[in-house]
Amino acid sequence: MTPNSEPDKDFPWWLVAVVAIGLWLFYEVLADADYAAVLDTLSAGIVITVLVSVFAYVMACCMGLMLAVGSLSRFRAVRQMCRFYIEVMRGVPIIVLLLYVAFVLVPALVAAWNWLAAPVGLDGLRARDVPLLWRAVMALCLAYSAFLAEIFRAGLQAVDKGQIEAAQALGLSGWQRFRHIVFPQAFRMVLPPLGNDFVAMVKDSSLVSVLGVGDVTQLAKVTAAGNFKYFETYNVAALVYLTMTIGLSLLMRRLEARLRGREKR
């Protein structure tokens, strides 16, 4: 057995330990009336957590890919604007961006809409008509798009230029080269960091509780403030997040292994 092959054949005892501990913890939670009541309350926030994470991440991926392509554009103005956005967003803490989007950007956009809509007879909006849930999704999308743009840029630049030149010699257009040659290879290379960022998104979605969005963290705060059982409440909240993040990590490992298997064929 070569040193390089040992990690692939190493039995995942860590996974057995994680599953065993997780099952034991869930058994203890369900067997205890206080823990079970807390879990029943927090389970309502799982849907919100998943909704915020999925919508924000999908939008961030689309926006990040466009930023990555723009940062590699042959037009200097486009490159500079994309780099400006990426560096600014990466430098602002997510919690600050959440508050800024919710209470500054959205009201400004509503005011701009009303100013443009009034002359043409369209109905105006009020800032409170925009739910805090979607303000949180917008903020997470803006924040993560900058980080994902750097991941996509690294993947796009890692594609062998010889293949791109060969496709160009065959008469493929720029869009065809990107669709059939560049993006499929870049996506396989950036899949692991994309998966890591999605797990991070699930954890960072807990920050939306500062806006009062009813996710797992917000429900935990409200529940603990009402029953004063902080130990039990936050233990259950941590267990819920661990279950989601570890489950996602295992799914991403499985997907990566399947893609590697296809490449070897």
The one-digit pLDDT tens for each residue of the chain (265 residues) are 445 545 556 777 887 888 888 888 888 888 888 888 888 889 889 999 999 999 999 999 999 999 999 999 889 999 999 999 999 999 999 999 999 999 999 999 988 888 888 777 777 788 888 899 999 999 999 999 999 999 999 998 888 888 888 888 888 887 888 888 888 888 888 988 998 999 999 999 999 999 989 899 999 999 999 888 888 899 899 999 999 998 888 888 888 777 776 666 6
Q: What sign for the dihedral angle of Cα 196, 199, 201, 207?
A: negative
Residue 6 domain flag: no
Tokens of 76: 């200097």
Residue 3 domain flag: no
Residue 178 domain flag: yes
Q: Residue 59: which CATH number?
A: 1.10.3720.10
Residue 1 domain flag: no
Residue 213 burial (CB < 10 Å; 0-12/13-18/19+)? buried
pTM for the model? 0.85
Q: Which residues contact 240 (CB under 8 A, 6 or more apart)?
A: 39, 42, 43, 46, 216
Residue 5 domain flag: no
Q: Which residues contact 212 (CB under 8 A, 6 or more apart)?
A: 132, 218
Residue 174 domain flag: yes
- Using CA atoms, how far apart are residues 136 and 107, in angstroms rounded to an integer? 14
Residue 137 domain flag: yes
Q: What is the pLDDT of residues 202-212, one digit of tens each?
A: 999 999 999 98
SS3 147: helix
- Using CA atoms, how far apart are residues 237 and 134, in angstroms rounded to an integer? 23
* Counted domains in the chain: 1
pLDDT value, residue 1: 45
Residue 136 domain flag: yes
Single-letter code of the amino acid located at 41? T
Which structural domain, as residue segments, surrounds residue 179?
Answer: 12-264
